[in-house]
Amino acid sequence: MINKGRDYEITSLIDKNCPVCNKLDNIYNLEGNRVQFKIPKEHGEGYVTQISSSRDTQIIDFKMTFNRKVELKGKSKTPHIDMFFCMGDHIDWNFKGDKRDFQLLKGESFFAKNKGIEKIKNCIYEKDQKLHFVELKVHPKKFNEIVENIQDEWRIFSKDKCEEIFHTHKMSSSINVILKQMISCPYNNGLRKIYMDGKVLELFSVYFNENIREKDNHNLINLSKEDIKSIYRAKEILDNNLGSPPTLLALAKLIYINEFKLKNGFKEVFNTTVHSYIIDRRLEAARDLLEGKTKTVSEVASIVGYSNASHFALAFRKKFGVNPGYYLKNVAGK
């Protein structure tokens, strides 16, 4: 999407010679795959990786912690559709011309479609924040091609305000899985482009479907802020105990809400059941272990909670399209 001139400009609001700004500026304005820079040690730690960039799309993975407050100003010179997915600590923004600040919390995403060129965006990263977010930029022409065949769904999502949209949404486990697959894409060159193009389409289809389904659902359980915090705590407990997760009843007792509210609230917040979430996370963890190429398929199956290797192989093939043995031998580490 960015290939001629400098279509995106990043400057510091604190330090005019900020090396982070210069590197980010280069990342945004280069076309290519797996372009990465590390945060200088004197400023913190982490990295920014351009996962994929072409004439139509750009995907960037930010995972960084600063040892000082950083304030950046981003200005786009070309129109685009922007999506952010927050997987770490919250992100704070201020959009020039708006009277309010904006905060994206962990586990949330936002979709922005502006009429014309994007507003100037000020980003504020506090000291010691563990930031991790993925940004997807899509050229309007490409986006119009994507929504051309889903006009009814697009109207429902956009509420017929197709020119300018600013929408936030909770990230489901399905969205998280797609993002992790993008970040860990095992392919190179032409195959990588095909894979990433497919994942972008999958991301949009799941994102729109979840939002539309949510609008159509008039029987959602009423959750308080404390209930939602408890449900996020339940997710953390599951993430830390994938090999031997607690029962639904035991999990409900651990987070001090009843089983009914946990079951239905988890589905509302993450758009998946507790059981389906555990399976997805187990298989993602299994793939990560296979990528290390230090364990056998049987060892991996046991680690992620499968006592039956055949059941593990069937679930893995259903999710990733290949048997775990084939993945370990022909895909992992490449």
pTM of the full predicted structure? Answer: 0.64
- CB count, 10 Å around CB of 326? 16
Contact indicator for 80, 28 with CB cutoff of 8 Å: no
DSSP label at residue 185: -
Q: Look at residue 52 and give its three-state secondary structure.
A: strand
For the chain, 334 residues long, give each residue's pLDDT as a single digit of tens. 444 456 677 877 777 778 788 778 778 876 666 788 899 999 999 999 999 888 889 999 999 999 988 888 887 777 788 899 999 998 887 765 554 567 888 889 988 887 655 566 788 888 999 999 999 999 888 998 988 888 777 777 776 555 567 778 888 888 989 999 999 888 888 898 899 999 999 999 999 888 777 655 544 567 888 898 899 999 999 999 988 999 999 999 999 999 989 998 888 888 788 998 999 999 999 999 998 888 999 999 999 999 898 999 999 988 888 899 998 888 776 6
pLDDT (0 to 100) of residue 17: 77
Q: Look at residue 242 and give its three-state secondary structure.
A: coil
pLDDT (0 to 100) of residue 146: 87
The β-bridge relationship of strands 91-95 and 81-86 is unpaired
Contact indicator for 265, 305 with CB cutoff of 8 Å: no
d(CA 326, CA 94): 48
Name 147's Cβ contacts closer than 8 Å, sequence gap at least 6: 153, 154
Name 183's Cβ contacts closer than 8 Å, sequence gap at least 6: 49, 51, 61, 134
